[in-house]
Amino acid sequence: HIFGHDIGEKLLEEEELRKIKVKMRSRELLKESSLPPNMAAREKLKEQERKEKLKKAKLAAKKRHTRNAHGIPDYDILYNEFKKELERRRFVQTGTIVEPFNLATEQIHSNRDKIIKDIKDDEYRQKENRWNPQNSRLMPHSSMKYLGALSSSLDYIPAMSTRSAELRSSMVKKEKDRIENQQKEEQESERRRKAREEKLRRYLSEKTNSAEIPNPRDSVAERLKR
């Protein structure tokens, strides 16, 4: 019978076989076919790049694996090094011992207290005998005496130049300069006062001898007529 069940199965098998042959033929044709030169070069370059990337990824994975694999440290050596470091830090260096010595400054004979006392005494005497500018006849008498006391105090300064000696000499020098300036100012003020008095005296004498001075007995009208 033409339309039996066997005929239908055979048709289906032949159809499937035909499809498989078409696929295999298309694969063979695709394999045998070739791309244009430019496309073939680009495909080849892409293939090489893909292979390089795959190779680098394998090397990186291998290095990462070897980096993680650490060896077991030697704890005995590490402990010995730690003990040596502790001993080194505990070591305290002893300081040097200072030998006794004598300063030459202590052997210098100093008269600092005596000089200060003389200066204070002279300043006290100067305050008592200070010149009063209101009285022209009184003049200071302790200035030269004070300078003499300062000059005598200079004799007590030691010959060796030390810091205290330099301070004393500078102090005495400043005091002498101050006294000299004070004397000059007093003399200048006295000279100016005498000049003013002399000028006033001449003015009064001229006015007294002048004939323009009115007589107190004359009346106002007579004075105006004159």
The string of pLDDT tens digits covering residues 18-75 is 999 999 999 888 877 777 778 778 888 899 999 999 999 988 887 776 655 567 888 8
Mean pLDDT of 104-121: 75
Question: To 10 degrees, what angle do helices 163-209 and 112-128 make?
Answer: 10
Give 156-169 pLDDT, tens digit per residue.
444 556 777 788 88
Nearby residues of 136 by Cβ (< 8 Å), 6 or more positions away: 190, 193, 194
pTM of the model: 0.23
Q: For the chain, what is the domain count?
A: 2
Own/partner long-range contacts of 11-18 (Cβ < 8 Å, ≥24 apart):
none
Mean pLDDT of 102-130: 73
Q: Residue 201 domain-assigned? A: yes
Mean pLDDT of 195-199: 88
Local confidence band at 133 (pLDDT 50, 70, 90 cut-offs):
very low
Q: Residue 157 domain-assigned? A: yes
Query: Which of 85, 56, 187, 77 minimizes the C-alpha distance to 131?
Result: 187
Q: Residue 172 domain-assigned? A: yes
Q: Residue 190 domain-assigned? A: yes
pLDDT score of 224? 57
Local confidence band at 90 (pLDDT 50, 70, 90 cut-offs):
confident
Q: Residue 3 domain-assigned? A: yes
pLDDT score of 140? 47
Name the residue type at position 191: R
Question: Is the confidence at residue 175, as pLDDT, over 80?
Answer: yes
Which domain does 163 fall in, by range? 111-131+138-209
pLDDT score of 22? 94
Q: Residue 115 domain-assigned? A: yes
pLDDT score of 52? 92
Q: Residue 221 domain-assigned? A: no
pLDDT score of 204? 83
**CA separation for the pair 72, 53 (Å, rounded):** 34
Q: Residue 82 domain-assigned? A: no
Query: Which of 200, 223, 199 minimizes the C-alpha distance to 212?
Result: 223
**CA separation for the pair 210, 214 (Å, rounded):** 10
For the chain, give the percent of residues with pLDDT over 90.
Answer: 19
